Amino acid sequence: MTAVDPGHIAGEAEVGEPSAPGDVADLAAARPLRKDVWRRFKRNRLAMVGLGIIIILVLTAIFAPWVAPYSITDRASGQFRKPPSADHWFGTDTIGRDVFSRVVFGARVSLKIGIAATTIALVIGLFMGAVSGFFGGIVDTLIMRLTDIFLAIPYIVLAVAIASVLGRSENTVIMVLGFTGWLGIARIVRSSFLSLKQLEYVEAARALGYSKGRIMFRHILPNALQPIIVYGTIAIGTVILSEAALSFLGVGPVEPTPAWGLMVADGKSLLATAPHLLFFPGMAIVITVLAFVFVGDGLRDALDPKLK
């Protein structure tokens, strides 16, 4: 018989042995979802630029009284439609008010309207889309036909009608944009519910006797939030742009509210002689809307399961 080397047997045993728990833990540590999303979000440079701009806008709106060198109603005697200078960085308007200060305070108006109107639209859209997609049938038909009716009414016409009754103000713009902005959200939520309610975990929740409300909002809705988050982020920029359009048309806030759209409307007739009156508030609108669009695109890419 041929002698067998004990060391050779030991080596073979070591190769065949399962790895110890410590070795498995060293291979890879599972990252939380939020860290994985943030890691992929940071790779998008435009999204990070947009996030930085939004942070600056929010801080500017919060600390506007300390950032702006003048009040929105202060008038410089004899300084009418002056170009940018050391005393007035963005120049002065037709009655001597500092344009830079009004643009700074205008960030408050735009962010307030954008966030408030988007919140209203999200709440209505989530509820209507969830009910439509979950119940289906006649309920789905009625809600979708109601959505079609609202889509057929231009929000500008509705804004003029509401402003003629309630008067021009920030709250009027919030109501108009909030109660007309839920249509796209409702369709997205409905589409998600139609697909998710067919999955096994929903059937299991039904078998356990859970109520329809619990199944809708505690089991299905959390799995449908990813497109809603992306849509809501982009919608804030869209609402800010719509508010500027309404103010430009004379339906938004009134003087002396420093709305960017209202400032653009005041400066459009003086483009040849005082272009700064239109340029600076117009650029504020463009930069703000682009920032929210960049962040929304970055969230879409970061939350896309196909990129994991």
Looking at the domain assignment, is residue 6 inside a domain? no
One-letter identity of residue 302:
A
Number of structural domains found in the chain? 1
pLDDT confidence of residue 59: 95
Is 106 within 8 Å of 284 (Cβ atoms)? yes
Position 249 in a domain: yes
Give the pLDDT of residue 33: 65
pLDDT of residue 24: 44
Task: Give pLDDT, residue 118.
Answer: 92
In a domain, 16, yes or no: no
- Asked, for residue 60, whether it belongs to a domain, the answer is no
Compute the distance between CA of residue 65 and CA of residue 244 in angstroms, rounded to an integer: 23
| pLDDT under 50: residue ranges of the chain | 1-30
In Å, the largest CA–CA distance within the chain is: 115
Cα–Cα distances (Å) from 11 to 2, 17, 144, 150, 276, in that order, read 18, 10, 70, 76, 81
Question: Does residue 139 sit within a domain?
Answer: yes
Q: Is there a domain that residue 155 lies in?
A: yes
Residue 57 domain-assigned (yes or no): no
Decide: 232 and 122 in contact? Cβ < 8 Å.
Answer: yes
What does the pLDDT look like over 138-165, one tens digit per residue? 998 999 999 988 888 877 787 778 777 8
Residue-level pLDDT at 7: 47
In CATH, what number is assigned to the domain containing residue 168? 1.10.3720.10
User: Residue 124: in which H helix or E strand, if any?
Assistant: helix 99-135
Over residues 251-301, the pLDDT tens digits come to 878 888 888 888 888 888 888 888 888 899 999 999 999 999 999 888 888
Distance CA 273, CA 73 (A): 23
CA 275 to chain centre: 31
Measured CA to CA, the distance from residue 261 to residue 247 in angstroms comes to 5
Give the whole-angstrom CA distance, residue 254 versus residue 257: 6
Domain range enclosing 193: 108-307
Query: CA-based Rg of the chain, rounded to a whole angstrom?
Result: 28
Kindly state whether residue 54 falls inside one of the protein's structural domains.
no
Question: pTM of the entire structure?
Answer: 0.81
Measure the CA–CA gap between 180 and 152, rounded to whole angstroms.
Answer: 11
The SS3 assignment for 65 reads helix
Q: What is the pLDDT of residue 289?
A: 92
